[in-house]
Amino acid sequence: MDKGKKYLIIGGTNKAGSTSVFEYLAEHPDVCPSFIKQANFFLDEGYNIPLDPIHKFSEEKKNYADYDKFYRAYKGQTYKLEGSPDYLYSPGTPGKVAKYVKATGHQVQFVFLLRAPKFRFKSFFQFAKQLELIPKEMELSEYMEINKRTPHNIKEPFYCILDTGHYHKFLQPYFELFGKENVHVYFFEDLKHDVKAFMKNVAQDLGLDAGFYESHNFVRHNQTRKVKNESLNNLYGNLRVWLLKQSGKSGFFLPLVRFGKKYITPMYQKMNTDVVNTEKAADIYDDFLEDVYKEEAGKLEELTGTQPPW
């Protein structure tokens, strides 16, 4: 494994634009993306996610070389990129990455994406039902009550969304282990307001050519959607998971993954889904959510040195 290579890891909260930012960075000529966005290589054992990691870090086996299996297309680019949002909420992940860096001599930069906690809660509720992470028939009132009594834990990450909106306490270990110069925090609201300015700023912070994004075609990714036909959705999902797993075993399947991502997924979404507006939903909880998170913006600013746009 090459010594001293640079790795760029995107983490952050749910529904904050991590997929879009991953895709925009992946298109930069100085970046080599992992063949699957959410590598989850450093995720804690037992973390409840829809798709188990294809390769997983083992402190016992010290399988550092397995991480590079996500970057079969690497040709000397400045960064190797992955995007695993749940790293933010996985307690052991900062320490695992620190051990990896110490053992390999590689360099790591983090990009964390956050969103106003109130809107993130509403958006995730719809998104979780879309992916059947929670029952589709569950009402927001029931979901809220479960969240009120469920603190953050890796076994039930879909039911502790209220607690995980306190971003500062989950970011703190990254700042302590890697320093401010290696941890970059950005906000979904800024991405949504002016995507070109946002990506040029990210590129500059990472030492990439920001001019690449001057005339770039920015396409939104991973919007919350409502499924029309469940059978077709299950077929699409199962085929996608199978193909991703095969790609982890052999580079032979990588062209099929790229083809599906570029052509099949947009076609499927157009045919079998509708975009859902989540920010206008359930205003009855706005006052409650604003009270829960009333101190979060100040604590984030104190930690990061940047004032959140909410």
Q: Has residue 209 got a pLDDT over 70?
A: yes
Q: How far is CA 98 from CA 157, 252, 300, in A?
A: 24, 32, 23
Q: How far is CA 247 from CA 39, 73, 234, 235, in A?
A: 12, 12, 20, 18
Looking at residue 43, the DSSP 8-state letter turns out to be P
HSE-up of residue 33 (Cα within 13 Å, Cβ side): 21
HSE-up of residue 36 (Cα within 13 Å, Cβ side): 26
Tokens 């993954």 correspond to 257
H-helix segments, the chain: 18-26, 93-104, 117-130, 140-148, 167-178, 188-193, 195-206, 230-249, 254-259, 265-272, 286-292, 296-304
User: Which position has the higher pLDDT, 84 or 4?
Assistant: 84
Q: How far is CA 3 from CA 35, 95, 100, 113, 124, in A?
A: 21, 20, 12, 28, 39
**Stated pTM of the model:** 0.84
Q: Which two tokens stand for residue 149?
A: 């009594």
**pLDDT band, residue 274 (cuts 50/70/90):** confident
Q: Which pLDDT tens digit goes with each residue over 71-109? A: 988 999 999 999 999 999 999 999 999 999 999 999 999
Q: Can you tell me the mean pLDDT for 217-224?
A: 73
Q: Has residue 290 got a pLDDT over 80?
A: yes
- Collect all residues with Cβ–Cβ distance below 8 Å to 165 and sequence separation of at least 6: 13, 117, 120, 121, 292, 293, 296
pLDDT recorded at residue 56? 87
pLDDT recorded at residue 277? 59
Q: Has residue 275 got a pLDDT over 80?
A: no
Q: Are 4 and 104 in contact (CB under 8 A)?
A: no
Q: Which two tokens stand for residue 139?
A: 């009402």
Q: Has residue 173 got a pLDDT over 80?
A: yes
Q: Which two tokens stand for residue 88?
A: 């933010």
Q: How far is it, in rounded angstroms, from Cα 226 to Cα 301?
A: 35
pLDDT recorded at residue 168? 98
Q: How far is it, in rounded angstroms, from Cα 57 to Cα 63?
A: 6
Sequence spans of domains, the chain? 6-116+165-222+294-304
The angle, 0 to 180 degrees and rounded to 10, between the axes of the packed helices 18-26 and 195-206 is: 60
Q: Can you tell me the mean pLDDT for 203-208?
A: 98
pLDDT recorded at residue 1? 38
Q: Are 118 and 15 in contact (CB under 8 A)?
A: no
The dihedral built from the CA positions of residue 1, 91, 247 and 217, taken in this order, carries a sign that is negative
Return the C-alpha torsion angle 232, 235, 236, 240, nearest 10.
170
The angle, 0 to 180 degrees and rounded to 10, between the axes of the packed helices 296-304 and 167-178 is: 10
User: Which position has the higher pLDDT, 302 or 217?
Assistant: 302
Q: Which pLDDT tens digit goes with each residue over 150-162? A: 999 999 999 999 9
Q: Has residue 273 got a pLDDT over 90?
A: no
User: Which position has the higher pLDDT, 54 or 83?
Assistant: 83
Please state, as a whole number, how many other Cβ atoms lie within 10 Å of the Cβ of residue 139: 11
> CATH assignment of 6-116+165-222+294-304, given 2.60.260.20, 3.30.9.10, 3.20.20.60, 3.40.50.300?
3.40.50.300
Phi, psi of 89 (to 5 degrees): -105, 5
Q: Has residue 185 got a pLDDT over 70?
A: yes
Nearest alpha carbon to residue 308 among 159, 124, 165, 144: 165
C-alpha triplet 188, 191, 193: angle, nearest 5°: 110
